[in-house]
Structure 1
Amino acid sequence: MAAKSKQEALSQIQELIRANPGSSVSLKVIRSLNFSQEVQNPELMNYCVFQRLYVCFNACNKSFQHCIPFISLDGCFLKTPQSGQLLTTIRRYSNDQILLIAYAVVEAETKDSWVWFLRHLYDDLGVEKIGKCTFMSDQQKGLLPALDEVIPGVDN
């Protein structure tokens, strides 16, 4: 993550939420491994490293609440210098339209990153809706154990 002022990063997240009221956004950063050795500048986030971002737009969430509870989960590589993975949940309709429910950018596709993503999704969709969902995936790395941990007994 490029060094930006703390205020600028927070204002971008606040603008996303302001423009999309009721949306859910979660940003996770970790301290740089060289934190204790770096010269600290309180105006810069040069000692923080981007780890994860989760976004669920309220309009997409509301639309999904009126759908048959069937969710497709997928992950793909991000081909950037920073690399990472894009995790997505979508609902595909019979007329080939796609509803994006939520997405996340994570450092790697692991059980831990899937658990983090699914917990946010669980909180956003609600216990009643997500408990009735059937999940479809190509059994991404770490996904099946993550589903069993976050939503025990779910169809997949």
Structure 2
Amino acid sequence: MTEDHRKLYSKTICTCIMPMVEDMPTIKVSVLIVEMQARFQYRVSYRKVWIAKQMAIEQLYGNFDASYNELQGWIEAMREYVPGTVIELQTRPYYGPDKQQQPGKRIFQQMFWTFDPCVRAFPHCKPFMQVDGTWLYGKYTQILLIAIVQDRNRNVLPIAFAIVDKENMESWEFFLTNLRRYVISNDNICIISNRGKGFIAAIRCFGVPWRSVYCIRHIAANFHRDYKNADWKRQVVKMGKEQPYHFNI
């Protein structure tokens, strides 16, 4: 039977899928639908299972607002129990509906963090660093910035992270400034990026002799987006790998 059952409420589904969500929070809704169908011989709607999964996640880990309110406690715990952890949190004042600043209340703005093992491992890596940003999903859609490096055995190591509102010059300057202060002290560093406008502006104002070059993966992706030719895309990647020259900003 493929019809949904009216008595299979989201709360009932939540109870059934709770162990699966606890074991794997990233489990897909489609997998949960198959599980429910195998258990009850009814194919439940995607929306009902999606709601049930959100309910399960909230019961297991709390909701978005509660998690944000616990941020300060998590920061203090990391500093106390993970020695050498560096966290730079910036907040801004909160103004109520009457436009008056509310004492004792702050709004999250941006945060940078890194770990002592990452800092100590960087001197043993290649003098190349790749930086990029990606959207966060959920109620709060900020951007996660990350810097990664590679050792001589081609193992990838993330060395610094930041959560910012936008991927602009101010956020990149915040990230690079703390990266320089806490992780990378040497000057002869080459940064690989997609050379977005905000990043270019930040590196120009930064005043550190780090070189910036294009990421061939981004070039190939943009090329394929415009020309829709897989063979040409492979040729672009091949040319990029054979080019011996580096272009500074």
Match of 2:160 among 75, 99, 102: 102
Aligned letter for 1:23?
T
Q: Quick one: distance in 1 between partners of 2:68 and 2:140?
A: 20
- Give identity over the alignment, percent: 26
Report the alpha carbon displacement of residue 19 of structure 1 after superposing the two structures with TM: 2.2
Match of 1:138 in 2: 194
Report the alpha carbon displacement of residue 95 of structure 1 after superposing the two structures with TM: 4.9
* C-alpha spacing 1:82/1:89, structure 2 compared with 1 (3 Å): same
Higher strand share: 1
The one of the two structures with greater contact order (alpha-carbon pairs below 8 A, sep at least 6) is: 1
Query: Does structure 1 retain, via aligned residues, the 8 Å contact 2:96–2:102?
Result: no
Q: Does 1:117 align with 2:175?
A: yes
Q: Does 1:49 align with 2:107?
A: yes
SS in 2 for 1:2: helix
Aligned letter for 2:83?
P
Query: Does structure 1 retain, via aligned residues, the 8 Å contact 2:94–2:102?
Result: no
Q: TM-score, normalised by structure 2?
A: 0.53
Q: Quick one: distance in 2 between partners of 1:18 and 1:138?
A: 36
Q: Quick one: distance in 2 between partners of 1:5 and 1:118?
A: 25
Match of 1:69 among 123, 127, 130: 127
The structure number with the bigger radius of gyration is 2
Report the alpha carbon displacement of residue 33 of structure 1 after superposing the two structures with TM: 3.7
* C-alpha spacing 1:141/1:84, structure 2 compared with 1 (3 Å): farther
Match of 1:2 in 2: 65
Aligned letter for 1:91?
V
Match of 2:83 in 1: 21
Q: Quick one: distance in 2 between partners of 1:117 and 1:51?
A: 13
Report the alpha carbon displacement of residue 143 of structure 1 after superposing the two structures with TM: 0.6
Q: Does 1:59 align with 2:117?
A: yes
* C-alpha spacing 1:75/1:37, structure 2 compared with 1 (3 Å): same
Aligned letter for 1:2?
D
Q: Does 1:149 align with 2:205?
A: yes
Q: Quick one: distance in 1 between partners of 2:161 and 2:88?
A: 11
Query: Does structure 2 retain, via aligned residues, the 8 Å contact 1:69–1:133?
Result: yes
Report the alpha carbon displacement of residue 50 of structure 1 after superposing the two structures with TM: 1.0
Report the alpha carbon displacement of residue 3 of structure 1 after superposing the two structures with TM: 6.4
Match of 1:12 in 2: 74
Q: TM-score, normalised by structure 1?
A: 0.81
Query: Does structure 1 retain, via aligned residues, the 8 Å contact 2:134–2:143?
Result: yes
SS in 2 for 1:147: helix
Q: How many correspondences in the alignment?
A: 149
Higher helix share: 2
Tell me the C-alpha RMSD between the 2 structures: 2.7
Report the alpha carbon displacement of residue 77 of structure 1 after superposing the two structures with TM: 1.1
Aligned letter for 1:144?
I
Query: Does structure 1 retain, via aligned residues, the 8 Å contact 2:169–2:198?
Result: yes
